[in-house]
Structure formats: structure tokens, C-alpha cells
Structure 1
Amino acid sequence: MHWGADGAGSGPVDERDADGYADLRSYAAIGDGRTIALVARDGRIDWLPLPEMDAPPVFASLLDAENGGCVELCPDEDFTVEREYVAHTNVLTTTFTTASGRVRVTDSLNSGIAGRLPWSELARRVEGLEGSVTMRAAVRPGTALNTVSPWVHQTSQGPVLRVGDLTLAVRTLDAAEVTEGDRRIDVTFTTSPDSRHLLALVATEREPLFLPPAEAIDAGIDRTIANWAAWSRAFEWDGPWDTAVRRSTLVLKLLIHASSGSMVAAATAALPENPAGGKNWDYRYAWVRDSAYALTALFRFGLREETHGAISWLLSTIRRHGPEPRVVYTLDGGPVPDAEFRDVPGWRGNSPVAIGNDAATQLQLGVFGDLFAIVALYVANGNVLDAYTGRLLAGVADLACDRWQSKDSGMWELPELQHYTTSKLGAWVALSKAVELSEGGHVPGDHARWRSEAMRIRHWVEDNCWSAERGAYVWYPGSDQLDASIVLHAISGFDRGERMSATLDALREELGDGPHLYRFSGAEKEEGTFLACSFWMVSALTLCGRVGEALELMDELMGSANDVGLLAEMLDPRTGDFLGNIPQALSHLALVNAAITVSEAMDSAVA
């Protein structure tokens, strides 16, 4: 069965394997600006950290089917499924059809009147459509990857669930039967035409638990739908691939941490990039790179609050931990903890399960370019830097002048230090943008030095990183291998001429598999194709004047998403299976920016 990005999924439920794990393509995402839940096609929520996205996951059967915990809700008989998001929202509807009737479940992580709620509120409305359907539900907290042991605690207000520092309560509307175990709460009810039931969960951490009436939680679903619809009305887009662009932007909004303005790289941790195991990382942190790409899209769509929030978070974070920018920070702007490995099975037995990320300690020169690209874009959209930020950036530019000559881990965060081509070009972007900002009066400092070093980097890349034999820019000097991230420097403007065009052809020949690209030479032996690279290729082809090829490629890539429009980090090109963490910001950002690039090229051609 093939699921496209432009249609709602329908048909029989994808079966879980014998150990209880669902296919990664089966998940939809809902969120509230603080956290994200993944809902499988069979109605089970297999991933939900509380109260924040980077918190220990209290529901994590995605990584530990037996003890990870989940929130179940489905008919107590065989069923088929149709599902889709409520139009212009991140609220999900799933319609179950059984031999005895039909029922619709609406899933929402509720928001409040003035934005996010001060507690977490998961609401699952159940509406009877036809016949009579018995629904079974269970709230089964897990062990937070074997770090705590949940239990049911009796209070004067009824039972609550305790999981470490979390307190959770189940709220129901017209439930037929509620039973308690020592670590779970089960609910059973029977629908009829026009009936309405509710399964809800409210949670707080290290604070009292507010218990809203079930009726208020149910009404909160409608308010949340209205809030999402109001946000979507501020979204400006009249270009091609409308459905995929709008869904991707709604996904990106889910991945923006409302409390800080940072953007999480992905909602999950430790999902495998390699089906054989060994490449399972925690992406619930904020990469400077992702923020840079996000602002391009957010400015284009006229979204003001998100753009200012993102740049304010980034600059204040660098100010706290600088002067040299780090690759990645926690969502609240702190240092990312080193990776630790948890003793749990992992998705379909794929281990290790890593929490934390060692990328924070790496030198990646590209981060200099990402930072200055963000700031230059902010200024280009009519905004003004404060004096402190100007001085901070001048110091970072001076650092880039010295640091660009160092070996680093490259964009792909590899253990082997090299003079990676795209790393040098990251420093080139930083210094080129620093000159522009200085000439515009936004950044003080000696821009003559910055200009000189930028030119030195350009000559170094042209002399050392171009291979006439390969007809391409190579991964690093002395190598004959290729790196797909070079396409970003058609986008940056370093080269949109014959050399870059020839490199695009070489990449598609060596790293291509259908419309997709692997990250670098040899990657096909240990991971899937990297979806962002495929969409970056669309942008690069466009900017090199090959718009017809870009249009054809973009149309092919539209089949990459699952039935509700979500993209993972990677794809197995032979099966279409998702690999890596989901939903992945970089994949959706690359799709959106490719659509913007093609649309602007088409508009220019008409003009």
C-alpha cells in the first residue's frame, strides 16, 4: 500500500510486529508547543514525553514495547482506519470502522485561551457515528526508559498516576467502566449514533495537579482547533505543492518550543538510521543549523512571532555560552548532556538507545555560517540589531577568521576530523555576511579583514576541493569521495555555475537512488537516503538554472511523506520505510525551502 503526502490514509490497519512495534510510517504527530505525542494508526500513543519534548518519555513504547508505556484507544474488535488532520490544524481525526459500527476519535494536545496551558492536557474525544462499538482504552505509564517505576496513588479526588516527579490523572466523560491496576488505569465504553465520550490525561511535574472537569477538556479540543486555524490564517502561501507545504509548516510549528522560541530537530530519540543498528541518536535538541533554515521559510510565510522568538533565543543563548557558537543547545538554551545509553530494547530491538548527544562538544565550522545567515536574513527583512548583538557578532566573525583553517567534524558530525569542503564554506558564508552587515552599519569591526579571509577561503576551496577527474567538488582535499551537503552552497550563492552544475550531476549519479540522495559516498552501506538532501537538490537545480529538472524531481519527492504528510529523517529507497527520528525538522524545512525556491524562480520567469 502506498501513502502519498496529499491524501488521507484509509484502509486496514498496519499490523504491529510480534513484539508490539508499529511501522514508523504509521505515526501522526500532535503537540502543544511544549511536547509532541505520536499516534499510531491503531490509535495507540507510543511516544509522549512530559511536560517538555526533551523530558524523559513517560510513554515510550516506541522504544520499549513491554515497559515503555502507552495510551491505548481502539475498538474491541477488528477494524479498518481512515484518518486525517482537521483542516489547517495539528488536531488528528481517526475513524474506525468495525462490523458493528463506526466511531471517530479526535486527538488533541490542548492549548488555552491565551496560548499553551500551564499543565499538559491530552484530549481524546470519541464520537459514535453508526451502530454500536465497544471501545477499550488504557493509560499505562512506562518506566521512562528504566529510570522510574510508576504506580497508582489514591487521593481524596480519586486515583492519580505517579511517575517520578510527574503526577497524572485520567479524566473521562460518560465512561461506562473505569478500573485501576497498580500501574495503569483502564476505561471501557460503548458508543451509539451521536454519542460522545472522552479519554483525557492531565499532567504536571513537581507542582500541584489541576483537575479540570471533563467537559472543559472536551471543549478545549474545539478551542485548540480554532487556535490552530487562526494561526494558519496568518500563513501566506500561494505557490505550488500547497498541501505538502502547508502540512510541513504546521509540523514545523509543532517542533518550535513555545517557551523559548527554539526549534527541536525531531520529536523522538534513538530511532535507527541503520536497520542493522548502531546509529540511534537523540534529536530532541535545538541545532543552530535548523534555526537558520527555518527562518527562511518563516519569513517567507509572514510569520512574525516565530522569527523573532527564534533569533532572540539563539543570540541570547550564544551570549550565555559564547563567544564561539556551539552546534546544538537544549531547548531552554543550556548545554546538551553527553549521550548515555539506556538498557531498553529500542524500536524493533534496534539498539543502543541513546539519550543526550555528543555533537555539542564537536567543532563544526558550518555553525558560523548558520549564525550569520540567520542574522543577515533578519536584517534583510527590515529589522534592526541591538548594539550588544553587533559587538557579539563582530567577535564571532574574528573567531571565524582564525578557526576556518582547523579540521572539524563536518556537517554530518563524523568522528573523523578533516578539512571538509562544506565546513570551509560555512566559514565563507559567515565572513561574507559579516561584511554585508558591517557595510550596512549593523556590526562594528574591521570588515577589511573579514573580506580578505572570505576571499582566502574561496580561493582555497577552488584550488583544493575541485576535482577535474571527478568533475565535482569532493568531500575534502585529497579525497575522490562526494558529499551531498555541497548542494547547500548553490543555495548560499558560493557557486551556481558550471562547476556546481557538474557536481549536481555527479552527486545524482553516485549518491542517487531514484529521486533520493545518500549523504556521502559509502553511506548506502549503513543508512537510508537522507530526505533533506533530496529536497536540497531541488533548490540547487533551480538556482543553477535547471528549473525543469527541479520541478520533475520535486513532483517525484511528493510521495516520500506518510499518509498524513509527515517526513522522517531518512528513507529506505527500496521499501519506502522510514528510518531515523520523526517528524524531522530538517526534512520538512528542506521541502518548504525547495518549494519557495522553485516558486520564486517560476515567478521571475513569468515577470
Structure 2
Amino acid sequence: MDGALRDDAGFVDLRSYAAIGDGRTVALVALDGSIDWYPTPDLDSAPAFARLLDAEEGFLSLAPTAPFSVERRYADGSNVLETTYTTAGGTVRVTDSLNTGVAGRLPWGELARRVDGLTGSVEMAWSVAPGTCFGGASPWVDTGAGQPILRIDGAALGILGIDHGVRHAGGRSVTGVFTTSPQSRHLVAVVSTHGEPLPLPDPQTIDDGVDRTIANWQSWSDAFGYDGEYRHAVLRSALTLKLLLHSPSGSIAAAATTSLPESLAGGKNWDYRYAWVRDTAYTLHALTRAGIREEVHAAVSWMLKNLRAQGADLEVFTGLNGDIPEGTRRPDLTGWRGIGPVVDGNPAAGQLQLGVFGDIFDIVWQYVQAGHALDPATMRQLADLADLACDVWQRRDAGMWELPEERHYVTSKLGCWNALRCAVLLADRGQLQGPVERWASERDRIRDWVHEHGWSEERQSYIWYPGSTELDASILLHAMSGFDTGPRMSSTLDALRAELGAGPLLYRYSGMQEEEATFVACAFWMVSALVAVGRRGEAVHLMEELVPLANDVGIMAEMIEPSDGAFLGNLPQGLSHLALIVAALTLSGES
């Protein structure tokens, strides 16, 4: 691949980005060696490095000074990135790692960029140049500790290295140049803390940490309990989801970024660095089926703790630490390729989304099916939520797609149907106590309502909401839930592909062809739905078309523009990767 990929404004295609992480935050590495996104200390912190969203907002570059070509991969079974640069004078390999410790996550951030000379000699230049933390601070260089330290908004960023050729340590950035030779070893590292003292480890310890981090990831991958079809893509997706798991709390971020546009026209720019109950449910569904245990338990426990604190006022998403979101702000930044706005926060907070009931119960049912047991407090909590679902399913809501128009969305009703279905199943397992007869009765009432009001004879399809003839791809989830796997659902799949399809991809709902790109998860949901209705041959063909749509290292964004395959929306996007996992598991016949 050609390394000269930046446009005149300093941006690269979203397909250019690979992701690395340490269980607390995620950094995005472009093909040209620039880290354009790196919030510290947490994924939802104001990022000191955000060239992803504004060319002036900070980066950590490392690349040959001469023209180069690029090949890259992740070290086997890991989230450590290996990039090989080839110039006319030689080749080098850069290994990018957010290091982990001997016993898990380090108590500080440790970004290591190891450079190995392979052939010839290559002059390498690097720069650590923070931005303004979304317009909130101004960086400065402190040299009082004997090593250059960049300070910004309470964060301290120590610059360490091995044969890294520091040239400048003043003003607002630290830079350097060095030349490789065969078998030479170099290191540029950024060690960070926030509001606390800054450790400055021996650079050799940091370099050794790269190998330890690879081994830590490989140990996790070795325990990954799936060996069926598309294993490489499934493992890569699981590793990507692991990047979105916030280890201090157990929460799961929907994506690693904010404000990447869903439309080239702008306006649809959201912050996905929050934990949605919906996304948590789908992620745990995938990870449970793949045999992942520790992260599933942590996320289930975190979610139930948060719900207990909320009572009947269910929040559809929270901060990664469980806090209730407090509005939004719009920093004065350009946005990726000038497509604004940049948004810190998400306006969907406080919406009524009935599907959240189904998400909660689906998580718990998956957990119990995996052989685990609920505690008495959780049983009481879930019984109350089942009673509440019996009452609120008749209300209008914002729907799965978080729209401003409240309607009787069919899939919202089916979320409540799934909640009550799971409540009855949990009671049958002895894991829930309450008015089971009422839960079963309301479950059946919802089923009858959907059959009467959610089906269009004209379209031969389930529709988006009563009185319309518009379609909604989220109905695919209820082929997977088992609500309908018969002729009506099969006919609905044909209608969705006819109206919302763009090659193998799908738009979210009617009318979106004019407003945004296709939604990646919907296409993988179609794979699973085709299997559910008995059309496995079509599902296999579709899966074969979809898997190669990831970028060169297996990362997927929220959306893909079908005309040219360009990524749009936030990335890595959890829903996209977990939908791939579920599709592969379904094709392999995994329970």
C-alpha cells in the first residue's frame, strides 16, 4: 500500500486506521504511521491526540522520511500492530503496542513504538504533538525531570526511548530523527498519567513490555472457545470487541470514537464512547456463545448494578463508569474532512426505548444458559422489570434507532415480547419468581399485536410501525430471537433486500439511501436471519461477500458507502464486529 495517503487538509480515509488498546483506552494508527486518536487516561476522556477530527488537534507520528510503501498485520492472536515500511534504501518494522502489565492493565498509560531495522538504512522521523483536548487546554513541554514531559489539562506525557534521536524538546511538541540499520532496535514511548505523579520507567523495560503484551493477548486468544467457520475473522472481531471493554468498570463502549460522520453531508455525528444496554446485550450474546467468561461476568455484573441504581427509570446508555450522561457540547473543531459537527456527548440520553427491556433479559438469559446462577437481589430486580414491561409495551417510544419521532415501532414491541419470553424461561429454570402467568399472557398479547398491526399484506413484510408501508432492518433480530422463522419472516427478508439492499449491504430503514451509508451490522444480521428461516445456502454466499469488506487488518466501521466501499461512522464499531461473530456462529451451528 502507498503510504502517502493524507489529503491536503491532513486527513486520511477511515479505512486507513488500525486500533490498539490496553483495556482502558484505544489508539488509532493510520497507514502512514501517525496515531491520530488517543484519549487518556480513558476512552471517554478529552483526547490530547485527535487529528482524526481536526488537523490541528494533535498526533504521534513515526515514519520514514523518504517515500515508502506499507504492509501491516497484527501480531498473531493480539492487538499489537506490526507495520513494515519499505523505502528505496531499506525496510523497517514498527511495532505499536499499548502495553499491559504482568498482572493485567498497567496503572499508567504506556504507548510503545518499537522500530526494528530489517534491511539497508532508513531515516525515521517522529513527533509527539498534542492538541488542545477539544479546545480545553494548551500543551507545554516541561524538561525539569531530565526527560521531556508534555503537560496538558492535568495529563502528563513522558517521552522516553532507545536510540530515538531526540532533537527538540520545547514549545508544544517533542520530535526526533534516527537512522536504522540491519538488526538495529529503537524505541519511542509515551508514558502517561492524569492528576497524579508520572513514572518514568527504564526504556528497556517498556521495550520488554511489548513482548509481554503480545504474550498476554495470545494467552487470551488461546482460550477463545471457537474453532468453526471463519475463525480468523471471528477471532479478530473478538479481539476488537475486547478493545472496547473498559476493564476498570466492566462496561463495554459502543465504539472507540466520536463524531465520525454517517453522511458526507454532515449532521449525523454522534459520540459512541458510552455503554449502551443494547450494545452490551448483543456483545455479551456473541462473547457468551464464543466461550468468553471473565468479561461476560464483569459486564453482566456492571449492567445489573447500574440498573439497580436507576430503578424504573431505565437509561439506554451510561458513561463507561456508570454515570448518567449530562448533555452534549460541540467543540470548535472542523470534524473529519471538514464534516461537522464534533460532538462531545450524545443527545439520546433520557429517551424511552422499549427494546432495552428485551436487551436486559436477553443478557441475563444468555448468562443463565451458560450455566450461571442469579442472586436473590437480581431476581427481585428482574421480576419488577418484567412487571414493568407488561405495562409499558403499549407506549410509543424512540425505537432502536433513537429517533426524535415517538411511534409504536414494531421491533420495540418485540423487545418487550423477548423480555417476557426470557422472564418465563428464567422462571422455568428456577431463576426468577413472580406472576409468571401474567408475564406469559402479556407476551402472547404482544405477539398477537405484532401479527395484527405489524404485518403488511401489501408488502408481504413486517413493517416499521402500524399504518406505514416502510421497512426496518432491525426486524432481522427477531428472526434470530425466534419470534418468527417461518414464511412471513422469509418474505420479510426478501422485501428488506429488495428495498434496503445495496449489493450485500443493507440500509437501516426506508429512506436512508438519501441520508447515510449502509449499516454494517444489518448485513450480518441478514446472514443469521437467512439461516434462521432455513436459507443457509444464501447465508453462506452473503457471508462470503461481507467478510472481505473489513479493512486490511480486519477492522470494521459503523457504515460502508456501497458505491466505493469507504468507511463512515465511528470505528471500531462494536455492533459491526459482534454481528459478524454471531453470523459465523450461526452458520457453524453453534448454540
- TM bin, normalised by shorter chain, reads over 0.9
CA contact (8 A) 1:513 1:573 kept: yes
CA contact (8 A) 1:108 1:221 kept: yes
Secondary structure at the counterpart of residue 91 of structure 2: strand
Please tell me whether residue 213 in structure 1 is matched to residue 222 in structure 2: no
Give the distance between the partners of 1:369 and 1:156, measured in 2 at CA: 54
CA contact (8 A) 2:279 2:575 kept: yes
Please tell me whether residue 384 in structure 1 is matched to residue 368 in structure 2: no
Q: 1:50 aligns with which of 17, 30, 40?
A: 40
Please tell me whether residue 280 in structure 1 is matched to residue 258 in structure 2: no
CA contact (8 A) 2:166 2:174 kept: no
CA contact (8 A) 2:129 2:174 kept: yes
Secondary structure at the counterpart of residue 48 of structure 2: strand
Displacement of 1:341:
1.1
Give the distance between the partners of 1:16 and 1:405, measured in 2 at CA: 51
Displacement of 1:151:
0.9
Please tell me whether residue 69 in structure 1 is matched to residue 26 in structure 2: no
- After TM superposition, the structure 1 = structure 2 runs for residues 111-122 of structure 1, keeping only pairs within 5 Å, are 111-122=100-111
Q: 1:131 aligns with which of 115, 120, 137?
A: 120
Please tell me whether residue 402 in structure 1 is matched to residue 406 in structure 2: no
Please tell me whether residue 21 in structure 1 is matched to residue 11 in structure 2: yes
| Higher deviation after alignment, 141-150 or 578-587 | 141-150
Give the distance between the partners of 2:206 and 2:176, measured in 1 at CA: 17
CA contact (8 A) 2:61 2:128 kept: yes
Displacement of 1:14:
5.2
Q: 1:543 aligns with which of 532, 543, 559?
A: 532
Give the distance between the partners of 1:482 and 1:263, measured in 2 at CA: 29
Q: 2:322 aligns with which of 327, 333, 339?
A: 333
Secondary structure at the counterpart of residue 330 of structure 2: strand
Please tell me whether residue 188 in structure 1 is matched to residue 177 in structure 2: yes
How far does the alpha carbon of each residue in 1:181-201 deviate from its partner, in whole angstroms, 9 at most, with x for none? Answer: 310000111111100000000
Relative distance call for 1:499 and 1:302 in structure 2 (3 A) is same
Give the distance between the partners of 1:439 and 1:230, measured in 2 at CA: 37
Letter in 2 for 1:332: N
Relative distance call for 1:14 and 1:487 in structure 2 (3 A) is farther
Displacement of 1:337:
2.6
**Equivalence for 2:28:** 38
Letter in 2 for 1:142: G
**Equivalence for 2:298:** 309
Secondary structure at the counterpart of residue 253 of structure 2: coil
Secondary structure at the counterpart of residue 452 of structure 1: helix
**Equivalence for 1:178:** 167
**Equivalence for 1:374:** 363
CA contact (8 A) 1:47 1:57 kept: yes
CA contact (8 A) 1:365 1:423 kept: yes
Secondary structure at the counterpart of residue 344 of structure 1: coil
Give the distance between the partners of 2:425 and 2:227, measured in 1 at CA: 31
Q: 1:431 aligns with which of 416, 420, 434?
A: 420
Letter in 2 for 1:278: G
Displacement of 1:443:
1.5
Please tell me whether residue 529 in structure 1 is matched to residue 511 in structure 2: no
Letter in 2 for 1:23: D
**Equivalence for 1:8:** none
Q: 1:323 aligns with which of 305, 312, 320?
A: 312
Secondary structure at the counterpart of residue 111 of structure 1: coil
Q: 1:560 aligns with which of 527, 530, 549?
A: 549
- After TM superposition, the structure 1 = structure 2 runs for residues 144-543 of structure 1, keeping only pairs within 5 Å, are 144-543=133-532
Give the distance between the partners of 1:121 and 1:183, measured in 2 at CA: 20
Letter in 1 for 2:21: G
CA contact (8 A) 1:324 1:396 kept: no
Please tell me whether residue 586 in structure 1 is matched to residue 572 in structure 2: no
Displacement of 1:156:
3.2
Secondary structure at the counterpart of residue 148 of structure 2: strand
CA contact (8 A) 1:14 1:23 kept: no
Displacement of 1:577:
0.2
Give the distance between the partners of 1:497 and 1:158, measured in 2 at CA: 67
**How many percent identity over aligned positions?**
59
Letter in 2 for 1:470: R
Q: TM-score, normalised by structure 2?
A: 0.99
Unaligned runs of 5+ in 1: 1-10
Secondary structure at the counterpart of residue 413 of structure 1: coil
CA contact (8 A) 1:465 1:473 kept: yes
Displacement of 1:301:
2.1
Runs of 4+ in 1 over 6 A off after TM superposition: none
Q: TM-score, normalised by structure 1?
A: 0.96
